[in-house]
Chain A
Amino acid sequence: MAKKIRVLMAKPGLDGHDRGVKVIARALRDAGMEVIYTGLRQTPEDIVEAAIQEDVDAIGLSCLSGAHMVLFPEVVSLLKKRKAGDIVVAGGGIIPEEDIPKLKKAGVRVVFGPGTPLKEIVAFFEKAGAAKGA
């Protein structure tokens, strides 16, 4: 049997909007992945530590408060520092269009905006997991 894809869903910073992150966690679980949800108010350090401990293939970061430009790139750079740069980082939430290229340049693989179909997000993590597993 193939190894299950492991995903860490995380809420960096102070943002308490957790409706979206929970819906996606559940959709990924329903699609057969192992999902670890960190809960709220995680620092980038907390998130990277959890990702390494849990040996995940990918991290989903959710932020709706506007602090994404500070918090998302920090997660990516800490992963690299901890030699875990192969963990794929995806972002989602309320992210202005003009910030997306900057986030991608900083190493966030994809940014999902409001209204993104769940199946698109599931497909992304399946592909990310398969690529890392291979």
Chain B
Amino acid sequence: MADSDDLQEIEARLRKWEATTLKEALKALPERRKEFLTTSSRPVRRLYTPLDLRGKPPSERLGQPGEFPFTRGIHPTMYRGRLWTMRMFAGYGSADDTNRRFKYLISHGETGLSVAFDMPTLYGYDTDAPEAKGEFGTCGVAVSSLDDMQILFRDIDVGEISTSMTINAPADVTWAMYLGMAESRGVPLTKLRGTIQNDILKEYEAQKEWIFPPEPSMRLVVDTFEFGVKQVPQWNTISISGYHIREAGATAGQELAFTLANGMEYVRWGIDRGLKVDSFAPRLSFFFNAHNDLFEEIAKYRAARRIWAREMRDTFGAKNARSWLLRTHAQTAGVSLTAQQPEVNIVRTTIQALAAVLGGAQSLHTNSYDEAYQVPNEKAVRIALRTQQILAHESGIANTVDPLGGSYYLEDLTDELEEEAYRYFDRIQELGGVIASIRKGFIQQEIANSAYRYQREIEDKERIIVGVNDFVVDEQPEVEPLRVSAASLRGQLDRLKRIRANRDRKKWQRSLDGLRKACEDEDANTMPHILDAVRSRATLGEICDVMREAFGVWEEPLLY
């Protein structure tokens, strides 16, 4: 940044400033706090200067945009070339209800689709399963069959738009339904673009939507990698997600560390299967949270890119530059939304979205202000989308590449987060790897500890949350409720009944038998069999039952 003579001079001037100007200022007005902390309780110093970056040459730490180690972004021109994809996570009620919401969002300028599934679907149960009682369509859309998937994408050109699906334990089944839907419309699989989340490791750690134990689950994930490389080459077969780790209470540093540790675990499993790292690594995508602390969040994205590029190139020997790229989706922090004075959430979301864009994300979901209560209503979701459009078209932040690069504070934070991540990588390795750390409850306990500390800080007013523990008003918030209609549920149950009555029973049975055999044969790839079962009108629950029987069900270590 500066040569050593300059640095000596800067240091001398700084000491002088401390002894004079600063000293007097502190005497006249002491600082508000003894210690200033980020959202993740990381201490922040008063001032950052070139001295903090001493011995860290920007040529190595930053590089050029679009070049190793990609700290400044994965594209040489970033948003000057193409804006990020505005992708709003949406889903509620029946496939019909959500299809209407998709069209509404597209008509308002959304540029990619993102499907939220309901709880039973996420756990591999059909809407008519006893476990699904009371849960239909409340947190997302129910998709129990290929027929539901057809309705969900009715009149939407899936050969053109890219679709992200937030589904994990049964991701292979849901993906097969999407592929089956495209196939029936004559859209070639090679043309399909999109993402399945399919990140089971963070389910054990944070989101908790697991079904099977870790080892068979990892095998299923690698089955999708292998199938995708051959058949659906433009599809991201995983979105390695820190989002949920953060939502569960992790700090920014833990989010970064656990997500990348998970990412490296998937790479190891892919290589162990015999896949060439450069064949599947370019299809690995990421998903990070964008929380309140602007600079800490931006630093997290930059550190993530740098670590991933280095590990992929140096540890895993990837030669293809596309394998080094950490491409990421971002979502503003749901957990930061308050039920109190909900309109104020629009401001929080704006700051968080700003962090994601300044951090160089490839796509973004902005939360709606009413999401502390429910799946958002139309007005709320439109404001959230408009927030992104204002950042893109009015704020000027998309005009230049990595506008904050070189900020002493930001670069120092980026380095600190990177160091914290490596400390966790070492710890996880000492414990025997990611899966061993999950079995021992280490990662879950680290997250729970951070969640508890954060709550105590709010309780003790060491941390102010506007409208919650300060600036409180006594008023009942006005949020227009969004309820799932009884008619939607009836329609869904009727459709399932019709499917079960009308399908070719022999074909259906044969496909499930084939899947069972594939599950038991460790050398087989399950994906073609799942696709076959979906085409034979087997439902999500039926397919997952076969797998539950073959693989068993995970029981998590209990801790708090």
From residue A28, how far is it (CB to closest CB) to chain B in Å?
A: 10
Identify the closest chain B residue to A118 (Cβ): B459
Docked complex: B401-430 residues within 8 A CB-CB of A: none
* Complex A-B: 26 CB contacts under 8 Å: A13-B133, A14-B119, A14-B120, A14-B122, A14-B125, A14-B132, A15-B119, A16-B207, A17-B208, A19-B451, A23-B451, A23-B452, A26-B448, A26-B560, A27-B452, A65-B139, A66-B139, A67-B119, A67-B134, A70-B133, A70-B134, A94-B339, A96-B374, A96-B481, A114-B338, A115-B468
Contact of B123 among A14, A19, A98 (CB under 8 A): A14
Q: Is B373's CB within 8 Å of the partner chain A? A: yes
Task: List the B residue with the shortest CB-CB distance to A38.
Answer: B558
What A residues does B138 contact at CB under 8 A? Answer: 65-67
Would B455 and A23 count as touching, CB distance under 8 A? yes
* Bound: A18/B558 CA distance, A: 11
- Check B459 against A25 for contact (C-beta < 8 Å): no
A41 to B338, CA, bound (A): 26
Report chain A residues within 8 Å CB of B139.
Answer: 65-66
Contacting B at CB under 8 A, from A1-58, are 9, 13-19, 21-23, 25-27, 29, 35, 37, 39-41
- B340 adjacent to chain A (CB < 8 Å): yes
Look across to chain A and name the residue whose beta carbon is closest to the beta carbon of B131: A14
Range class of the B interface residue count: 35 or more
A133 in contact (CB, < 8 A): no
Q: Tell me whether A71 is interfacial, beta carbon within 8 Å.
A: yes
**Which of B132, B373, B560 is close to A22, meaning CB atoms less than 8 Å apart?**
B560
Binary flags per residue of B240-251, CB closer than 8 Å to A gives 1, else 0? 000000011100
B247-261 to A contact mask, C-beta < 8 Å, 1/0? 111000000000000
* Closest residue of A by beta carbon distance from B556: A39
Chain B residue with minimal CB distance to A29?
Answer: B560
- Chain B residues whose C-beta falls within 8 Å of the C-beta of A69 in the assembled complex: 134
Task: For the complex formed, measure the closest distance between the CB of B526 and the CB atoms of chain A, giving whole angstroms.
Answer: 24
Q: Is the CB–CB distance between A118 and B455 below 8 Å?
A: yes
Give the shortest distance, in Å, between B13 (CB) and chain A (any CB).
47
- Residues on B with beta carbons closer than 8 Å to the beta carbon of A39: 556, 558
The reply to whether the CB of A113 lies closer than 8 angstroms to some CB of chain B is yes
**Which of chain B's residues 196-223 have a Cβ closer than 8 Å to chain A?**
207-209
Chain A residues with Cβ under 8 A from B134's Cβ?
A: 13, 66-67, 69-71
Q: Which of chain A's residues have a CB closer than 8 A to the CB of B249?
A: 19, 23
Interface residues on A, range: 35 or more
Given the interface contacts A39-B558, A40-B556, A65-B119, does A115 sit within 8 Å of B208 by beta carbon? no
Nearest to B339 among chain A residues (CB) is A114
Q: Are B135 and A94 in contact (CB under 8 A)?
A: no
In the complex, the 3 A-B pairs of residues with the closest C-beta atoms, listed nearest first: A70-B134, A66-B138, A16-B208
Bound-complex Cα distance A114 to B560 (A):
19
In the assembled complex, B351 has its CB within 8 A of some CB on chain A: no
Chain A neighbourhood of B131, CB < 8 A: 14
Query: What's the nearest-Cβ distance from chain A to residue B375, in Å?
Result: 9
Q: Which of B292-341 contact A (CB under 8 A)?
A: 335, 338-340
Name the residue on A nearest B445 (C-beta). Answer: A22
Report the separation of the CA atoms of residues A119 and B139 in the bound assembly, to the nearest whole angstrom. 30
Q: Do B208 and A40 touch across chains, with their CB atoms under 8 A apart?
A: yes
Q: Is B107 part of the binding interface, using a Cβ–Cβ cutoff of 8 Å? A: no
Q: Indicate whether B372 reaches chain A with its CB closer than 8 angstroms.
A: yes
Among A18, A29, A67, A119, the residue within 8 A (CB) of B135 is A67
A19 touching B247 by the CB < 8 A rule? yes
Alpha-carbon separation in the docked complex, A10 to B179 (Å): 38
Are the C-beta atoms of B459 and A96 separated by less than 8 Å?
no
B558 is contacted by which of A37, A41, A66, A70 (Cβ under 8 Å)? A37
Q: 17 other contacts beyond A19-B247, A22-B451, with CB at 8 A cut-off?
A: A13-B135, A14-B119, A14-B120, A14-B122, A14-B131, A16-B208, A19-B248, A22-B560, A23-B448, A27-B452, A65-B135, A66-B135, A66-B139, A96-B373, A96-B374, A98-B481, A118-B455
B476 within 8 A of partner (CB): yes
CA distance A29 to B125 in the complex (A): 35
Q: Which residues of B contact A9 (CB under 8 A)?
A: 560
Q: Within the assembled complex, what's the spacing in Å between the Cα atoms of A24 and B433?
A: 30
Within 8 A of B (CB), among A62-114: 65-67, 69-71, 94, 96-98, 113-114
| Bound Cα distance from A60 to B476, whole angstroms | 25
In Å, the complex CA distance between A13 and B131 comes to: 7
- Complex Cα–Cα for A120 and B448 (A): 21
What's the minimum C-beta distance from A50 to chain B, rounded to whole angstroms?
12
CA distance A84 to B398 in the complex (A): 62
